[in-house]
Amino acid sequence: MRNRYRRVLIFFLAASGIVLILPVMFFLCYTLFGSDYSIPLPSGYKLSRVYAGAVMLCGTEHDVLLCPNVDLYDVRAHIVIGHVSTEGLSEHAARESIPGYFVLDTKKGVLNKGLSKDEWLQLLRKYGVASRPVLHRPSRFDRLLYE
């Protein structure tokens, strides 16, 4: 009889643990791997992932300023800098995109896009960025840095 109660208790504890752990696991998986996301940038601009491997630069009115794919970026005060690539995009998406480097002055609302590396570095010097910046890939966790 004692063995039977022990088995029932073990079953109950295991079932309770599963009921408690499953929602937490679902939430973590959804947060880490699910859905598209946006990264807030200065002055109401944002980077938005529209599907896997495609990130766009959007304006303050949710208008698209740069079509996919913004593959690298960084934020320096009110300046957003980065690189756009057509690698891995569909033929249609690649036609809409302007590959190259970009600089967005979020205070003035001025976007320079399709720049070569030399043009980009020269423009960055005008904005006071003396050293070559290190760009990184957009990530859903970047939104924690700028909120």
State pTM to two decimals. Answer: 0.75
pLDDT tens per residue across span 74-118? 999 999 999 999 887 778 777 888 999 999 999 999 999 999 999
First to last CA, the chain: 59
Q: Residues 35, 27: contact at Cβ < 8 Å?
A: no
27's CB contacts (< 8 A; 6+ apart) are: none
**Digit-coded pLDDT (tens) for 15-56:** 665 555 655 555 554 455 556 788 999 999 999 998 877 899
Q: What angle do CA 116, 36, 73 make, to 5 degrees?
A: 25
Q: What is the residue extent of each domain of the chain?
A: 1-34, 38-146
Per-residue tokens: 115: 């720049």
